[in-house]
Amino acid sequence: MPPSSSVHDQRRHTGVTLPLCAQQTVETRCSPWLPTTTAASPSLTASTASTAIIAFLATHFIRQLHTSPMLLVPTMTKTPSHSPIPPLYRLLFLYIEPVSTLVGAIAAHFFQQNYLILTHAASANPHQVPLGTSIVLTQLANLYLLLCLNEALVLRATHDVKVWKTFLFGLLVADLGHLYSVRLVGNWVYWKFWLWNAIDIGNIPFVIFLAISRTMFLLNVGFASRAGSRADVKKRI
């Protein structure tokens, strides 16, 4: 019997004429000579494609490893093994001064009454800090905190001597302005060390020490001589 006889028999018994597409569907299902096909689900197709892509990339990577074994060695950025900044300068400008400015920020913001009394007791209000003065002291604390972060982070991020000198020159100018600002207390504050309180010690001797240290840094005091550094380079080569 031909494959399409069942379709013709069905139409003969029912008296219903099937559309052409339906006829083809029935013929396809009833025909033992035609392959049975099922539509693949989208998820199965995507999974198969992903597996094929991963397999291709893995194969390609393995081939690259065989042709270039150096890919297995991680590349690392070379960092200088020795900083050109002398250790004493690093200790002072990366640790001691940032901590001192952080202490000043805490005192200017959280202990404003004592801060004013220690700065100049005669003009300080012993009962209440004026609102405007409180705002100015908080802004001063903010600047101290900014100095602390800049010095501790910016200078730590580089070994470039030129960057250090540029940064420290700005701080040297600020040191001179800081020393000039306390002149209104009286000239005695610069030399009568036995009368100094905690604020005076921070305003006078410590600032003078920092200014001298910055000046020495700008003048290359304590740095290895260029001839010596060149000799070291030749020895390493």
Q: What is the predicted pLDDT for the residue at 53? A: 72
**Residue ranges for the chain with pLDDT beneath 50:** 1, 3-4, 7-8, 10-14, 16, 18-38, 40, 43, 69-79, 227-228, 231, 233
What is the pLDDT, as a whole number, of residue 71?
Answer: 42
**What is the reported pLDDT for 226?**
54
The three-state DSSP-derived secondary structure of the chain is CCCCHHHHHHHHHHCCCCCHHHHHHHHHHHCCCCCCCCCCCHHHHHHHHHHHHHHHHHHHHHHHHHHCHHHHCCCCCCCCCCCCCCHHHHHHHHHHHHHHHHHHHHHHHHCHHHHHHHHCHHHCCCCCCCHHHHHHHHHHHHHHHHHHHHHHHHHHHCCCHHHHHHHHHHHHHHHHHHHHHHHHHCHHHHCCHHHCCHHHHHHCHHHHHHHHHHHHHHCCCCCCCHHHHHHHHHHHC
Reported as a single tens digit per residue, the pLDDT across 190-222 is 999 999 999 999 999 999 999 999 999 999 999
